[in-house]
Chains A and B, each alone.
Chain A
C-alpha cells in the first residue's frame, strides 16, 4: 500500500498569503496519478486538482498542483477566506487507492 504523508499537519496563515502544502509518498507515483481534495467542516470533500496539476471544473486559478516521483505540492497563491479547510492528497498508482491524513489550513 502506498502511504501518503502530508505536511504540515496544520498550517496557520492569513488571507492574502501564499500556502504551500506537501504530500510525500512511500513509493514513487506515476506522474498523473495524484489528486487533491478540499473538505470544509460538515461537508463532503471536493476535487480540486487531478493528474497532479489539472484543476477540476470550477476551481479558481489560485490553486495549482505540481510534483513528481514521491513529492507533490498543492499551492494556493493568495488565500481567500473560503480557502481555510482541510486538504487531502490521494493516489491511484497502486491498490488500494489511498489518501493522506490531511493538512488543516487555518486562519492565523
Chain B
C-alpha cells in the first residue's frame, strides 16, 4: 500500500534551519507531485508548496518563498522540505502529502505522512 514515512520530531534553535524527509513506498515516486502542509499546535492546516519528483520543479506559497526549499532524491524515493531562519512561529507538525492525480497537480492530498513535529526553542 502507499506509505509516506517521516521522522517523528526535530528540535531546532531560532535562526537555524530544518530539513524534513518523507520516504515514499508502494507507488512510482516520480509519478505524483508531493505537497507539504504544516499545522501549528492546536491550529489549522497551512499549505506550503509542492514538488514534482519527476524533474524537481517546485511551487511555493508566497508566504514561504525565499525561506523554503523542496527537493527530492529519486534513488531512494524521498522528498525533502527545508525551512530556513526558523522562529518560534515555525513550531508545527510538518506533513508531506501525495497528490491524488498522476502526472500533474490535482491539488487534493491523499495519503499523508504521519507528520514531523518541529519545535523551535532556545
Contact = CB atoms under 8 A, between A and B. Distances in A.
A67 B46 CA distance: 23
Interface size bracket, A side: 20 to 34
Contacts of A84: none
Interface stretch (A12-20, A21-29, A74-82, A97-105): A97-105
Given A44-B95, A44-B115, A47-B100, A99 B45 contact: yes
Given A47-B100, A50-B100, A92-B107, A98 B112 contact: no
B62 A96 contact: yes
A88 B45 CA distance: 8
Interface residues of B, number: 20
B110 A46 contact: yes
Interface of A: 35, 37, 43-47, 50, 56, 88, 90, 92, 95-102
16 contacts: A44-B111, A44-B114, A45-B95, A45-B109, A46-B111, A46-B112, A47-B100, A47-B110, A88-B45, A92-B107, A96-B47, A96-B62, A96-B63, A97-B107, A99-B45, A100-B44
